[in-house]
Amino acid sequence: MATETKNMDRRWLVIVGTAMVQLGVGTFYAWSIFNTPILRMFHQIVLDKNGQAAAQQPHLGAVSLIFSIGALALALSTIFVARLVRRFGVRRVTMGAGLMFGLSTLVISTIHQASQLWMFYLFAGVVLGAADGIAYMATLSNAIKWYPEKKGLISGIAIAFYGLGSFVFKFIDAAFLGNDVVKNLPTAFIGWGMSAMALILVGALLLRDAPDVAPANQAGTIKNHEFTTAEMLRTPQAYLLFLALFTISLSVFMTGIATNLGTTLAGLSLAEATTVVALIAIANTIGRFVIGALSDKLGRKPMFILSYAATLAAVLVLTFSTQLHMVTFYIAMMVVGFFFGGTITVFPTMVADYFGLKNHSQNYALIYQGFGFGSLAGAVILSFAGGNLHIVFDVYIVLLIISLIIWVGIKKPVYDLK
């Protein structure tokens, strides 16, 4: 009893460690800052008449594929997290992932030629992405298990720091790159990698494996069935949640091309359009805190209905407005960012509410694949649509309407003893 009370008193240290790890692994989402330096290093950059990078870059697709591979590896790697944590513990798994992260950046810092692009795909894509996903899922699920009474808030804190990592390190990476981006690129990779690895390793030292049963202060609450992954996959709710997460993850594509949307849809200058990237990042981070905390008080479903309805309204404005004003464009994109941040925060807690905490890592990892495939879906649809953004928006609108119907009708699964 004394040991359990002591563990309860030290839960906050786990959250501090989780926040540090999430801050470190979240830096991967600042990767886009390296695309142009890599093109310049490979002598594949196309310049305009003023000597600046041209709007159209024929080799950008091959380079941007590095991050796409990483995002997919991130999602797929989460499937193996539960097994790893059960065998080695959350601290060792997270430290191993941190070392993988840092070593990957050391390897890519040695790349100098376009013929070595495959090394970026392997080490910055597959290896680094997998390390990112393992540390992300291991620490997030562990933190939620420590605070079953505040799942939304804890998920909000963890995922907010994940988003904060990309925002903060855009400036840190830019400082490492300096003015001579080609010469400084290896140093930038090393500086970024070692900084992120340090955050992950130090944060991991504060982690403790959560108990399998709810803490003592949860006594008296109704015990729900702890679904195994096989049991979860026999429920329609698992697939409905997957589809809903797939849908909202199209926001990743929208925010990823926010600058391009500003210049094409609202006629903004490059400087005006670039401003929206920072605004989206701020809105996204705030949304994770706000929606996560409100979901504990007002319920998950109301927050999902609000988030998807607001996102639908914003996408409708972007799709059907004949001439967007700059402020209208900023607000619409901030709405997309705010509610995407909130939604991705509440999803882990919704899975815990529906299927239990015991097998949360593995159960959420499968549903989380909706994020991985949804993040790539926008680019795939755009490719098939011949570059027509309105077709991407039309598909998103239809999926958002379907998802709203899901959220209105979905109910918690009932375990069948038969």
Which pLDDT tens digit goes with each residue over 103-145? 999 999 999 998 999 999 999 999 999 999 999 999 998 998 8
Would 1-215 and 223-412 be classified into the same CATH topology?
yes
Please tell me the predicted confidence (pLDDT) of residue 53.
Answer: 62
- Residue 180 Ramachandran class (φ > 0 left, ψ -120 to 50 alpha, else beta): beta
What does pLDDT average to over the chain? 86
pLDDT confidence bin for 30, thresholds 50/70/90: confident
Exposed / middle / buried, residue 141 (Cβ in 10 Å: 0-12, 13-18, 19+): buried
Q: Which CATH architecture is the domain 1-215 placed in? A: Up-down Bundle (1.20)
Distance set, CA 63 to CA 41, 172, 318 (Å):
12, 21, 28
d(CA 159, CA 133): 13
pLDDT over 60 at 390, yes or no: yes
| 43-47, 124-128, 342-346: the lowest-pLDDT one | 43-47
Q: Comparing 332 with 273, which gets the higher pLDDT?
A: 332
pLDDT at 6 over 70: no
Domain boundaries, the chain: 1-215, 223-412
Cα three-residue angle 286-291-293, rounded to 5 degrees: 100
All residues at 6 or more sequence positions from 246 whose CB lies less than 8 Å from its CB, including other chains: 370, 371, 373, 374, 377, 399
pLDDT of 414 over the 50 cut: yes
Q: Which CATH superfamily is domain 223-412 in?
A: MFS general substrate transporter like domains (1.20.1250.20)
* Residue 321 exposed, middle or buried by CB count within 10 Å (0-12, 13-18, 19+): middle
pLDDT at 221: 38
> What is the predicted pLDDT for the residue at 214?
47
pLDDT tens by residue, 151-182? 888 888 888 898 888 888 888 988 999 989 89
Q: Is the pLDDT of residue 8 over 60?
A: no
Q: DSSP assignment of 61-96, as one string?
A: HHHHHHHHHHHHHHHHHGGGHHHHHHHH-HHHHHHH
pTM score: 0.79
Token code pair at residue 78: 């989460």
User: What is the mean pLDDT of the segment spanning 278-304?
Assistant: 88
Question: Highest-confidence range of 58-67, 254-263, 363-372, by mean pLDDT?
Answer: 363-372
